[in-house]
Structure 1
Amino acid sequence: MIVTIKDVAKKANVAPSTVSRVIANSPRISEKTKKRVREVMEELGYHPNFQARSLAAKSTQAIGVIMPNSAFHAFQNPFFPEVLRGISTSAHANKYGIYLSTGSTEDEIYNEVTSMVQGRRVDGVVLLYSRVNDKTMNFLQQSNFPFVVVGRPYENEERISFVDNDNIYSTKQVTKHLINLGHHNIAFVGGSLNFVVTIDRLNGYKLALEEANIPFNEKYMVHEEYIKENGREALHSLMSLPSPPTALVTQDDLIAYEMISYLEEIRIRVPEDISIVSFNNLMLSEHSKPPITSVDICIYQLGFEATNCLIEKIKMPNTLPKRITIPTKFIERKSCERKK
């Protein structure tokens, strides 16, 4: 038998409207009454129909979370489960559900987001990436639909709310760390230049080289696409240069871990022969052999703050755009050594 709001009201000896206000956590209802009604709801096994309530309120009580590629590929990277943990914590606290994107190409993601917005399936969107000339972001902006970006927008950043690290500064600092250890031949490995995070980190890397009067060498750049196609060949080409690098700045811990494996195959030791620094500070960086020196970008906090920002924008549409910068932490481990 289906338990209704009237059943709860009768058992708790209150009006059905009081039960509705308890469900909505109205400040007009005393804590004593809320406690009694919630106890009856639990006793009778009553579950509020939030979908019906949302339709009545012209709200879905759901937010869309848009990943840069398919969920299958995204969840192979521990960044996404961790950022989703931050998103879901904030969403749960504010009684919002999460609608995950499933598109695997840029066009599929765009079509899915337009469908979400036009079909009013969500109240707002969190973009978990910032792509160069992204038509999805342009569509959201032109539609005046609430959205927040995890990452710095490529353009119009003064008009878009976003949560990010200072990727230029943090990459400059880790590159300087390697320079201070005596390394001058430093390679930049991984990351697609289609994403703003890679552009910012590359700029930080270049700034550190420039300040140390070290010329930038195009041959020391290895792009993500090349690594995906053939990581071993990419590394072999890098280490076969007339002046091979003695240190690597890698885009994330997964790439660093992969590089360590490939280096071991060709009998190049980390950190004795080559030093490595990375980003994200995932669990594998601590348990890698050797443990990887990494920048903790506070992934959970990125997701949590982005969702708080989005829900504020949903509730108060006239809120001005925000730029929230999450501080990073440099975690020094054993993958770096002074150049001999």
Structure 2
Amino acid sequence: PTQQPGSACGVRLIQRCLCCHFRQLPNAYGSLMSQQGGVGLNAGTNHDETKYYISLPANKLELWMAVESSRWRAPVFRELYSEKEVIKEERRMRVDNARFGPFTEAFAETAFPERPYGRPVVGTVEDFARLGRREVEGFFTAKYRPQTLTCAVVGDVDPRQVRQLAERYFGKWSPPVDAAAAAQWTDIPGAALPAPRGAGPRELRMSLPTGPLLMDGYYRPAGDDPDSLVYAVMSDLLDGGRASRLSTSVMDRGLALYATCFSAYPGDKYPSLFLVQGVPAQGVSTDELAKALRKELQALVDTPVSEVELRRVKKKTRSALLELMTSTSRTAELLCQFQARQ
């Protein structure tokens, strides 16, 4: 993440362009991968990272290395302006016209004023107007470099061969340093992004025709903090299935149509929020729902967690990890994330 206006939109534009185009075979990347047995070609961007995915037969590893290194070493942003229109429509669908889109965007901006997590991933209308080809190319030059790229290859491959091929195709990647672009797109270091404190609780109320939504956020440290595990366990205790506390004490009592929580919102690379949210049931106000949710949070503080609950959470966590390890794509994603955060 970066605080610079336009950065989020720039990331999405680059993501879309790189998924479709590269110099040697313009407009044919997806077709080439499909012809070679590739499946699951996709990409996604969140507040913390952009991820690119594909699954290929093991004997296509060198082809992937050759093509992938070409995309990064010599990108050509064809159809940039048509892709920008696609992202504009994405914003209209996911934010402007979404049921709670305007409120969740305003909530993040209120919680993280002048900070990366306060800016929408898809960008703003002002970003769309500001970004042209020169700005996107400058952003790519400043941000997409060997030291910011992490690759993970999982499957029936020889690690020594993977390393040899990576050195052959990526080893000569030495992009020029553009001082002007680097100055324009300077990141704010993670250490300089403490959660805003000292001003007391912030409250945001909006009147929307889509119905009520309550979001209750509490500042928490980044994901590399030792206490991060505590927040993950708290999240599972509150929202870990039909036996969880929010299900039995809030939804089953008719106070909410749904209630959930997120251990790190909107990300965990930097200090963020432990978030509890819900939609009140008919006849229940957001203030009444807030009282019920905060009662469950306070119970975590006042009353020791039972062994039965802890066993349930541990069992669920082990099961989720074992399920993850059966998927090559999810294992690769986990390895990438772990390595990139080192």
On whether the aligned pair clears a TM of 0.5, the verdict is no
Tell me which structure has the larger Cα radius of gyration: 1
For normalisation by structure 2, the TM-score amounts to 0.23
